[in-house]
Amino acid sequence: MRMSLITDQITRVALLGAATLTLGAAGCGSDDDADGGGQPAAGGGEPLEVVATTMQLQDFARQVGGEQVNVSGILGADNEPHEYEPTPSDAEALAAADVVLENGANLDDWLEDLLANAGGDAQRVTAAEGIELLPTEEEGFPGDPHIWHDPEAAKQMVDNIAAGLSAADPENAETYERNATAYKQDLDEMATQIRETFEPIPPQERKLITTHDAFGYFVRAYDLEQVGTVLPTVTTESEPSGQQVQQLVREIREQEVEAIFTEEAVDPSLERQIAEEAGAEVSSSLYADVLGGPDSGAETFIAAELANAQAMVTAWQGS
Ligand SMILES: [Zn+2]
């Protein structure tokens, strides 16, 4: 919150062309007044206040919104979306937001109660809108919510965000459209680069075992094989039964899987135990539901996806 307020102030002062900035001159009081009405920032040159749940959405919003938006995130690098418990400061951010971005498909369904409590009149954008979900047997889910791992779905998410920002701030619609087009090109290049990264590995050797069932779209997009998951679900909430663990160990041995991947933001102890039992390696962490924190080298969506592909290839080639 504090950082975003300061960024907001810096942007505003820069727009006014002021030569100097002191914190005293850019006090929080004036900012609160400016945001007090909760009105969209159309026309005033003030950035739109955008609150986004997941880190993927936060990055997409920054790419599409550029300098016209001030993005605050709810989830950080240590927050699993499936298990997140909202805080009072989340409600404050939502109450002051012009636009709220959610993944949808029940990934961030806790937003519903949070919005009801926070009030405010933000434009709500569901990034999953119009995306055909992979089926899941998980109860309570309309389909697999990890849509961003499919580059085509990621582009649709970007379009949905651009449309939402434009609806809240029609004066800058052309800018949002232009930024979205440029970023979608970057996403195409990312997908090409990931396919090239996988090229030396024959498809039958691209065997993936991950913590939870988060890579269904990635597996489909890049021609991999998901042999199994340590947690038997699309969420990170449930523990596998002893029987499920034994089944997985058998499968790892039978299919000669060499590496089990852990995930950022999830405790890897169960992966270690299963790897040991099955005689496989535990490989480096993947960015499943979060992006990397500061100085990780995976702070953006594109960097995180490239890091995932590289981690997989490194593990597969190491065998
Ligand atoms: Zn997940």
Angle at 183 between CA 160 and CA 313, to 5 degrees: 105
Phi, psi (rounded to 5 degrees) for 229: -130, 150
Find the helix packing angle between 151-168 and 55-65, rounded to 10°.
60
Q: Which strand (E) or helix (H) includes residue 316?
A: helix 301-317
pLDDT at 31 over 80: no
> Which residues, in sequence order, are CB contacts of 204 under 8 Å at separation 6+?
225
CA of 107 relative to ligand 1 center, distance in Å? 7
pLDDT at 72 over 90: yes
Res. 18 pLDDT band, cuts 50 70 90: very low
| Residue 319: predicted pLDDT | 54
Rounded mean pLDDT, 90-94 = 96
Res. 13 pLDDT band, cuts 50 70 90: very low
CA of 231 relative to ligand 1 center, distance in Å? 11
CA of 209 relative to ligand 1 center, distance in Å? 14
pLDDT at 41 over 80: no
197 burial type by CB count under 10 A (0-12 exposed, 13-18 middle, 19+ buried): middle
> Which residues, in sequence order, are CB contacts of 165 under 8 Å at separation 6+?
48, 50, 61, 64, 65, 68, 69, 99, 125, 172, 176
Stated pTM of the model = 0.85
Distance CA 155, CA 187 (A): 7
pLDDT > 70: what percent of the chain?
86
pLDDT at 1 over 60: no
Q: Which two tokens stand for residue 188?
A: 């195409």
pLDDT at 2 over 90: no
CA of 10 relative to ligand 1 center, distance in Å? 35
Give the DSSP letter of residue 271. Answer: H
CA of 144 relative to ligand 1 center, distance in Å? 9
Is CATH 3.40.50.1980 correct for 2-192?
Answer: yes
CA of 233 relative to ligand 1 center, distance in Å? 9
CA of 240 relative to ligand 1 center, distance in Å? 15
> Which residues, in sequence order, are CB contacts of 209 under 8 Å at separation 6+?
226, 227, 228, 229, 230, 248, 252, 257, 259, 260, 261, 280
- Locate CATH 3.40.50.1980 in the chain: 2-192, 196-317
CA of 177 relative to ligand 1 center, distance in Å? 29
CA of 254 relative to ligand 1 center, distance in Å? 27
| Residue 44: predicted pLDDT | 54
Average pLDDT along the chain: 87
pLDDT at 5 over 80: no
Pairing mode, strands 259-263 and 281-286 = parallel
In the block, tokens 């299919």 appear at 255
CA of 81 relative to ligand 1 center, distance in Å? 7
Is CATH 3.40.50.1980 correct for 196-317?
Answer: yes
